[in-house]
Structure 1
Amino acid sequence: MAAVLTPKQAGQLLRDMEIYNGSPVTREALLLSALTFQRPGEIRQMEWAELDFDNALWTIPAVKMKRTKQAKMSGRPHYVPLSPQAVKSLQRLKPLTGHHKYVFPSLLGEGRRMSENTVNTALRRMGYDNETMTAHGFRAMARTLIVENLNVAPDVIEAQLAHGKSGPLGMAYDRAEFMTQRRKMMNEWADYLDKLRQGADVVPLRA
């Protein structure tokens, strides 16, 4: 999937998102795509009932994950630690969509979620064509920039991306797997995005 993969490009994308003049709900969908780097379908299906603000955690039921049919029915949820920036984004959304089931409801009727084309259409309006950036590209952007700039172990990133494991463990996710490291990573990632958006030095941050 097309994605911006350099700090300079990511900083410009974030600035373009900040001044996006479309729906404020779509703007927050763009931001949370960057902050959480979950799959576009998972973000569109996010429900208020899945969010634990006290513990800054988003619990995605197994049935919503990209898994085998058996894993969807019997697998464990995927846990997404939320950075303070992600929590603030959701708090901005609460007055707008908190009375709906979905965090990102459709404009076409109650009980429906945001269209799969909404985020991609917003990117096109900002000048990013299909060969430059896509909704799914936020995952590749995060995977690349975190590895290159934040000195995070690949296994921690893969766990956050909910990529399937190889070997006998398969999709048997442990609720606490890398959770401490993942929470630290998500906070550092959000802070790094803030710096890029503000035009800060984009020299890699490796220790």
Structure 2
Amino acid sequence: MKSLLTDTAVKNAKPKDKPYNLTDGGGLYLKVATAGKYWRYNYSFNGKQKTLAIGVYPDTSLKQARDKHQAARELLAQGVDPSSHKQEAKAAERALTENSFELVAREWYGKFSGKWSKDHAANVLTRLEKDLFPFIGGKPVAEIEPPAILKCLRRIEERGALDSAHRAKTTAGQVFRYAVSIGKATRDPTPDLHGALPPPDRKHFAALTDPQEVGQLLRDIADYHGVPETVTALQLSAYLFQRPGEIRAMQWSEINFETAQWTIPAERMKRRKAHTVPLSKQVLALLDELRPMTGRRTHVFPSRTDINKPMGANTLGGALRKMGYDSDTMTAHGFRALASTMLYEMGYPADVIEKQLAHSVGNTIRQAYDRSQHLDQRTAMMQQWADYLDSLRGGAQVIPIRRAG
């Protein structure tokens, strides 16, 4: 195939009154028009005359145009239509872009950030744009594997921000779970990183206390695709904030639906003293829903392998891990710290909160004489707490509500 054009001829070609073509050979030509110079390739496919747009000069040089022209001729020799091949390649590239981690994350952020506080929304966006997008933002969300995420987290850890690394992992998990929900991914890979980061320097059980993050946690629990007993046990952990062992071992005989109270016997309490827990309307509704499933068993949450035993010790923590909350971010025991911290901020007296937690209040002398259960106050507090959690889960304003005077 004889080439006719030169770089100088292409450069010096000037527009005329009407567009005209400068032929290079083999169907390749430069179309010169007032608006610019365009490389085109005329060819025949299945008996039809077609034209392939190759590029715009000078962005596409003569040599580049010839290379693309040759590639198109090779496709044609294989029985492939160059124009259709180009469209399919563009569609594939567009699909990769539309399914990228960054695009999905921004879609997730746009959908939920409007219900967050300005500070929380800014922190999440900074976390995404600074720590995640530069490294995995362009990758298809369905193809990102745990090692790629871990590299992001290691970079954060290396700058001395270990707590931020754990938060970035949680945020990434929320994006992946959103991607699963809209059909752009099949799994959340972040639970595979459990134990990959050292725990932050914390003295207590890990727990979320930011209202925005608590709201997201409650939504994640509601959307969790586990067995109903596990979902309800996690929801009750938030509403009642009793110890995980007490929640798991709850028995139907201990619940009084008429008085809306759960009495935990002394032998199951840490301090070997019976404990009465007021039940909110939300808790009673959850128990009513569960009663047809486990109401004939001894335990409200029976084991899946032995119905005569309560739910396994690792079930609740394992469910949180599957949701993307590692043990350095949120634990089953952490619901107690979560409630305690937020209730103090809501203005409830320490005695009432500590009594609900079944903690000893004051010195041994005071404990000997103090028989008060603060039951009326705790009943009101537990209903307000349940209502507040519902508002967080629904994404309402999260300015801490204050207890009634």
Alignment TM-score > 0.5, same fold:
yes
Alignment of 1:40-79 (within 5 A): 40-67=244-271, 72=272, 75=273, 77-79=274-276
Q: Residue in 1 aligned with 2:56?
A: none
Structure 1 segments of 4 or more deviating over 6 A?
none
Alignment of 1:15-34 (within 5 A): 15-34=219-238
Cα distance, 1:48 vs structure 2:
0.2
Cα distance, 1:171 vs structure 2:
6.9
Are 2:321 and 1:127 equivalent residues in the alignment?
no
Of 95-104 and 197-206, the range deviating more from structure 2: 197-206
1:92-136 deviations in whole A, cap 9, x for unaligned?
Answer: 110111111000100111311100100000000110001000000
Cα distance, 1:138 vs structure 2:
0.3
Q: Secondary structure at the match of 2:338?
A: helix
Q: Residue in 2 aligned with 1:162?
A: 358
d(CA) in 1 for partners of 2:255, 2:368: 23
Structure 1 vs Structure 2: percent identity of aligned residues?
A: 51
Higher strand fraction: Structure 1 or Structure 2?
Answer: 2
Q: Residue in 2 aligned with 1:144?
A: 341
Cα distance, 1:56 vs structure 2:
0.4
Rg larger for = 2
Cα distance, 1:172 vs structure 2:
7.2
Q: Is the 8 A contact 2:388 2:401 kept in 1?
A: no
Amino acid at match of 1:31: Q
- What are structure 2's unaligned runs of at least 5 residues? 1-204
How many residues get paired? 198
Q: Which has the higher contact order (CA 8 A, sep 6+)?
A: 1
Amino acid at match of 1:190: A
Cα distance, 1:167 vs structure 2:
2.6
Taking structure 2 as the reference length, the TM-score comes to: 0.48
- What are structure 1's unaligned runs of at least 5 residues? none
Taking structure 1 as the reference length, the TM-score comes to: 0.92
d(CA) in 2 for partners of 1:186, 1:106: 28
Amino acid at match of 2:312: S
Q: Is the 8 A contact 2:246 2:268 kept in 1?
A: yes
**157 and 125 in structure 1: CA distance in 2 versus 1, 3 angstrom threshold:** same
Q: Residue in 2 aligned with 1:178?
A: 374
d(CA) in 1 for partners of 2:320, 2:342: 20
- What is the Cα-based RMSD across aligned positions, in Å? 1.4
Q: Is the 8 A contact 1:164 1:171 kept in 2?
A: no
Cα distance, 1:44 vs structure 2:
0.9
Q: Residue in 2 aligned with 1:201?
A: 397
Amino acid at match of 1:33: S
d(CA) in 2 for partners of 1:109, 1:92: 22
Q: Secondary structure at the match of 1:102?
A: coil
